[in-house]
Amino acid sequence: MKIQELLLSLLPHWNYRIAKPFKQLLDDGISLEMYYCIKTLQWKGGIMSMSELCHFTKTPKDQMTKMSNRLVEHNLAERVFDPSDRRIIKLKLTDKAQLYIDHFIDNDVKCFEPFLSQLNEENLKNFECALKLLLKVFYELPCNENSGK
């Protein structure tokens, strides 16, 4: 199988076994896109310019503005001006965002138990290794990569 076929074959499984159960846990008016934005900011050091965030997430500026407004309203992020150029607005995670992520990881990952409990020890170890490898690959991609365009 070509890599493209593997990716397309993986997507439905990932959606039904990972993404959907996870999405059902989001609460307090936090959308999946907001969660992804929080995790992206966390991954990139907790602060990014709005332009960087739009570019990285492939999100149009107007949609990112709405999402950042919701993050600020929920006190999960704050807008800060770049001291070298006040025209540049950055979105910075708040302590509440980190607490939200920590709480989520500590309490709500139970949604994956039905899936993970179906795996034998060897497959569980292989799945963990595959996830670590995928994360390594994604973390090594430059922020300005142009996939999806």
Instruction: Enumerate residues 6+ apart whose C-beta is below 8 A from 44.
Output: 52, 56, 143
- Phi, psi (5° rounding) for residue 48? -150, 150
Asked if residue 1 has pLDDT above 80, the reply is no
Taking the complete model, does pTM exceed 0.85, yes or no?
no
Question: What single-letter DSSP state applies at residue 109?
Answer: G
pLDDT in tens, 87-127: 899 999 999 999 988 887 777 677 888 889 999 999 999 99
Dist CA 63 CA 52 (whole Å) = 14
pLDDT of 131 reads: 94
Q: Which CATH number fits domain 3-140: 1.10.260.40, 3.60.110.10, 3.30.460.10, 1.10.10.10?
A: 1.10.10.10
Instruction: Enumerate residues 6+ apart whose C-beta is below 8 A from 91.
Output: 41, 47, 48, 49, 50, 53, 68, 71, 77, 78, 79, 80
pLDDT in tens, 23-53: 877 766 788 889 889 999 998 899 999 999 9
